[in-house]
Chain A
């Protein structure tokens, strides 16, 4: 597994309802544990929103492949949803997506639409930079304050 695949897996699990996850693949072991005190807890009823990664504290990942450990911690800029609603990556179902992972973005550029109650809320970027992660799939519900995108801001 490369770093990108590991990051993607962490993102997916962070959005799920799993409190504990462990896997072994090609000599790499990945363990994700966000139980508050390390004990297994029952999971809430179906429909309970999964806790966002940021709210559940750092997710310990052990052991990490060498390149992950050596990767310097990076300050990524987060774009959060201002409302509860449905996340859309394009202005209309048939249209091109606003942005892709790797897209270079200017401040003020539209990243997505979050819709609720026939309010089509276009979310604009507030920095120049590059899209590193798109955390929500098209058409999925998002919570207030949920992280939608992570960007690597351009060097000033």
Chain B
């Protein structure tokens, strides 16, 4: 049973700190989390980390905030980030070569976050191309990666992750109650944000080490396993090349592009644009 709805009560909220001491991992991190900057409130963790990066903070620096006053998503959409209930974190990478395909900077955090959320909560968190995370068909986490490129190569990558953890229905604006959820709303219990952050840092550490050795199979295979909607799901693509496109998902290629079989039988490769799962189609996305 899903205890979603405005009336359930999980009792008084206990302290749930996400300070550097609280999120310290059992191991000594080589990259992610060797330096953690914690803020009570920032406009956006990506903006804060960008300023820190320009001061010369090292690769792997993490910014955590208890609250974001202007959390953002793609095309300046808001990410509602109330104090004390969600995870608002950004991570800094400084690629040393141009060898890593850029799309991995969005697939890696999606895989790491989905795995971490599943590990800590046991809940069926899924990925939808390229990196939306959902729980029982509702959005639970968003990832936005800001890259700065000069001379054709990325030199600074900032991965922003926002997760609805202990949000209650009242923490979500009314227009999102049908499309968004939180771990607590879905499971009927609260989770330690620090435990989830530790799990994400650990997953990123492992995944990034593989990525840097050129082993992309692990990330891509895990992504595919956690994203059943990338196969056989009726979708509409808007904002991509050309006019909007209707079809059925047919997997991803080695560059992370989504393959879509159109009604006329043609196979389209979609590298950008927004994917909307078509409700009421013959087949609904598994996990949605």
Contact = CB atoms under 8 A, between A and B. Distances in A.
Contacts, number: 75
* Interface hub of B76, B144, B272, B273 (most chain A Cβ within 10 A): B272
Interface string B61-76: 0000000000000111
Interface string B200-243: 00000000000000000000000000000000000000011110
A119 B149 contact: no
Contact of A141 (B150, B153, B241): B241
B144 A118 contact: yes
Given A93-B76, A121-B149, A84 B271 contact: yes
Nearest to B242: A47
19 contacts: A46-B242, A80-B152, A84-B272, A86-B272, A93-B75, A117-B131, A118-B106, A118-B143, A118-B145, A119-B106, A119-B145, A120-B74, A120-B145, A121-B147, A122-B146, A124-B148, A124-B149, A126-B150, A126-B151
B240 A141 contact: yes
Contacts of B147: 119-122
Given A82-B102, A117-B130, A119-B103, 5 more contacts: A46-B242, A117-B256, A121-B149, A122-B146, A122-B148
Interface of A: 46-47, 80, 82-86, 92-94, 108, 110, 115-126, 141
Contacts of A141: 240-242, 272
Interface residues of B, number: 29
Contacts of B146: 120, 122
A51 to B, nearest CB: 16
Nearest to B130: A117
A121 B54 CA distance: 17
A141 B238 CA distance: 12
Contacts of B240: 141
B75 A124 contact: no
Contacts of A118: 74, 106, 130-131, 143-145
